[in-house]
């Protein structure tokens, strides 16, 4: 009885079986040897105080509409030495930076009207390699994450304000201390000049005083 299986399928099955049965035992070395490379993110000196998934938008002034910047992870990173905090967001697949700016004392964040999962804020952003004034809107997957972001953002802004006030107070104290030292030096110098002038006056009077022991001879008569 003739087989109803197509000839080409039967031939492929035989070849596949032959390939599975055959084991040459040969080991093929990789053509290119890849070396492990250390990757730096620029975040090594910072600690993440917030890390959430979200979608970011920026307001296009020319088109008067919101445009998507990317979906990924938004972080608030605090520098270990300076204490400054910046907001960084990277796209999830490409890791391209879509937001990168400091959180400063003058910034405020507020809920986006009509959506309790979104909030908006103004920032001077550096994501594109140059400083730009941007209006951002970020949307989270839950109301809780949005609230957590807003609370932490506001807390950081207030802490930066206190930090700036302390720095201003320290700077003012340093200036006053410097002025006090300079005034003291001026007073000391003035006192030395007065003392030197008094000493010089005494010497002058002493040189100009007539000698009491010296007798004046009478003039001879003509």
What pLDDT does 222 receive? 43
Distance of alpha carbon 201 from alpha carbon 188, whole angstroms: 20
What pLDDT does 71 receive? 97
Cβ count within 10 A of residue 145: 18
What pLDDT does 186 receive? 65
User: In what order do the strands lie in the sheet containing 109-111?
Assistant: 97-102, 85-91, 65-79, 46-60, 132-140, 118-125, 109-111
What pLDDT does 36 receive? 74
What pLDDT does 156 receive? 96
What pLDDT does 140 receive? 98
Q: Are 74 and 118 in contact (CB under 8 A)?
A: no
Q: Model-level pTM? A: 0.61
What pLDDT does 163 receive? 78
Task: For 167-221, write each residue's pLDDT tens digit.
Answer: 766 666 667 776 766 666 666 676 677 667 677 666 665 555 555 444 545 554 4
The DSSP string of 51-109 is: EEEEEEEEEETTTTEEEEEEEEEEEEEEETTT--EEEEEEETTT--EEEEEE--TT--E
Spans of the chain, pLDDT less than 70: 1-30, 37-39, 168-174, 178, 180-188, 190-191, 194-195, 197, 200-222
């Amino acid at each position: 009885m003739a087989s109803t299986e197509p000839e080409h399928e039967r031939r492929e099955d035989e070849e596949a079986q032959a390939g599975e049965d055959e084991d040459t035992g040969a080991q093929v070395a990789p053509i290119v040897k890849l070396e492990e490379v250390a990757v730096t993110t620029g975040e090594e000196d910072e600690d993440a105080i917030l890390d959430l998934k979200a979608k970011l938008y920026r307001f296009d002034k020319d088109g008067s509409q919101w445009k998507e910047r990317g979906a990924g992870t938004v972080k608030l990173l605090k520098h270990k030495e300076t204490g400054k905090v910046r907001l960084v967001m990277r796209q999830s697949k490409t890791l391209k930076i879509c937001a990168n700016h400091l959180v400063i004392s003058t910034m405020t964040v507020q809920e986006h009207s009509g959506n309790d999962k979104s909030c908006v804020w103004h920032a001077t952003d550096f994501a594109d390699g140059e400083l730009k004034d941007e209006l951002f809107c970020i949307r989270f997957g839950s109301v809780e994450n949005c609230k957590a972001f807003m609370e932490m953002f506001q807390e950081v802004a207030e802490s930066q304000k206190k930090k700036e006030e302390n720095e201003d107070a320290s700077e003012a104290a340093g200036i006053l201390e410097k002025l006090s030292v300079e005034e003291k030096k001026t007073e000391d110098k003035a006192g030395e000049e007065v003392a030197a002038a008094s000493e010089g006056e005494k010497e002058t009077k002493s040189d100009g005083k007539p000698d009491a022991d010296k007798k004046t001879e009478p003039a001879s008569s003509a």
